[in-house]
Amino acid sequence: MSEQIKKFMYINRRAPYGTIYAWESLEVVLIGAAFDQDVSLAFMDDGVFQLVKGQDTADVEMKNFSPTYKALGDYDVTKLYVEKESLEERGLTLDDLMPLTYEDEDDDWAEKDSIRLVSRAEMADIMDEQDVFFSF
Amino acid sequence: MAIEANGKTFETDEEGYLTNLGEWEPAVADVMAKEDDLELTDEHWEIINFLREYYEEYQIAPAVRVLTKAVGKRLGKEKGNSKYLYSLFPYGPGKQACRFAGLPKPTGCI
């Protein structure tokens, strides 16, 4: 296997329930996390709804996988970029999102936020640095 | 496929994982363990219960390296290592223990 670490970005643009895209994306992220790549997730457009807290899927009869986002930190996936404009356009703020954290191994396991709020322009710069994209 | 436990029939998939997570009861783990020539001790149950709690909280069965780390954090360093976990579950603490616990195959175990 190649020693080179690539920058992988998973782009999430759709609402969590109603289609299978969000869950498929999350599963691929968790499986791919075994490969020691530099992984980051982008949430924009309706994708920001994936991180909204208090989801209840009982009425749509879909598995509620929202709690699984909390496991990302355990899988060393610690960079979740959320686009500020997408949140604002939907009347959401950071407070509407689940608090997602990870423990920083290089900083005495201090608990840190995984969600990083970025502007559309900043998101474009972050995307520019990536090697591989997965779009869901 | 199916297994018999406690006078009931439990359906399993082709790899032996329970088809319906909600049906699980401790007797299922005992029967599955016996088929693997294992006798479940308190130490096994500690991990099986830990996995069930993990699933309850996160809705996934953790990959083995995630399980190892989480066990270390919750139950202590002497248990949070592959050697200890493999001594309990020789077919792999992720796959075998998750199967006993009635969970699906771990996400991210390859």
- Residue A103 pLDDT > 80: yes
- Span B68-88, pLDDT tens digits: 999 998 899 899 999 999 999
User: Which residues have CB under 8 Å from B49's CB, separation 6+?
Assistant: B101
Task: State what percent of residues in chain A have pLDDT above 70.
Answer: 98
The reported pLDDT for the residue numbered A90 is: 98
Query: What one-character DSSP code corresponds to residue A7?
Result: E
Handedness of CA A119, A120, A126, A130 (dihedral sign): positive
In a domain, A88, yes or no: yes
Query: Residues B86, B78: contact at Cβ < 8 Å?
Result: no
The mean pLDDT value of chain A amounts to 94
The reported pLDDT for the residue numbered B65 is: 87
In the predicted model, what is the mean pLDDT of residues A94-119? 94
The reported pLDDT for the residue numbered A52 is: 97
Catalytic residue among B30, B45, B109, B110: B109
- Span A26-45, pLDDT tens digits: 999 998 888 888 999 999 99
- Residues of chain A in contact with residue B66, where contact means CB-CB under 8 angstroms, are 71, 74-75
Domains held by chain A: number = 1
Suggest the residue from A30, A105, A109 to mutate for an interface test with chain B (most B CBs closer than 10 A).
Answer: A30
Asked if A75's CB is within 8 angstroms of B66's CB, the reply is yes
- Residue B100 pLDDT > 60: yes
In a domain, A25, yes or no: yes
Q: Count Cβ atoms below 10 Å from residue A31 Cβ, excluding itself.
A: 16
The reported pLDDT for the residue numbered A60 is: 87
The range of the structural domain enclosing residue A122 comes to 7-135
B32-38 long-range contacts, CB within 8 A, separation 24+: B32/B3, B32/B99, B32/B100, B33/B100, B35/B3, B36/B91, B36/B96, B38/B89, B38/B90
In a domain, A2, yes or no: no
- Span B11-62, pLDDT tens digits: 999 999 999 999 999 999 999 999 999 999 999 999 999 999 999 999 999 9
In a domain, A1, yes or no: no
The reported pLDDT for the residue numbered A134 is: 96
Suggest the residue from B51, B66, B67, B95 to mutate for an interface test with chain A (most A CBs closer than 10 A).
Answer: B66
Q: Is B109 a catalytic residue?
A: yes
- Residue A105 pLDDT > 90: no
**In terms of CATH, what superfamily is B2-100?**
DsrC protein, C-terminal domain (1.10.10.370)
In a domain, A126, yes or no: yes
Asked if A33's CB is within 8 angstroms of B59's CB, the reply is no
- Residue B66: closest CA among B27, B97, B94: B94
Distance from CA of A79 to the nearest CA of B (A): 18
Task: State what percent of residues in chain B have pLDDT above 90.
Answer: 80
The reported pLDDT for the residue numbered B108 is: 67
CATH code for position A11? 3.40.1260.10
The reported pLDDT for the residue numbered A2 is: 57
- Residues of chain B in contact with residue A31, where contact means CB-CB under 8 angstroms, are 107-108, 110
